[in-house]
Chains A and B, each alone.
Chain A
Amino acid sequence: MNSLTILGLLPLIGSAALFLLPKGSDLLAKQVALGVSIVVAIAGLGMAFSFNRSATGFQFVEKHQWIPAFGINYALGVDGISLLLILLALVLTPVVIAACWHEAEGGRWSVKNFFGLILILETMIVGVFAATDIFLFYVFFEAMLIPVYFLIGGYGTGEKAAAAVKFLLYSLFGGLLMLASIIGLYVISGNQLQAPTFDVTALSQLSIDPVTQRMLFLGFFIAFAIKAPLWPFHTWLPDAARAATPGTSVLLLGVLDKVGTYGMIRFCLSLFPEASKEFGPTIIVLSLISIFYGAFLAIAQGTSSGDGNIKALISYTSISHFGFITLGIFAFTEQSHSGATLYMINHGFSTAALFLIAGWMISRRKSERISDFGGLQRVTPIMAWLFFIAGMSSLALPGLSSFVSEFLVLVGTFARYPIPAIIGTIGIIFAALYILIPVQRALHGPITPGNENLTDLTLREKVSIAPVIAVIIFFGFYPQPLLDVINPAASATLSALQITGIMGGK
Chain B
Amino acid sequence: MNPYLPIIAIGAVGFGFAAFSVVAAAISGPRRYNRSKIDAYECGIEPTPQAAGGGRFPVKYFLTAMLFIIFDIEIVFLYPWAVSFDQLGLFGIVEMFIFIATVFIAYGYVWRRGGLEWD
Direct contact of A and B (CB under 8 A): no
Q: Which positions in A face B, CB cutoff 8 Å?
A: none
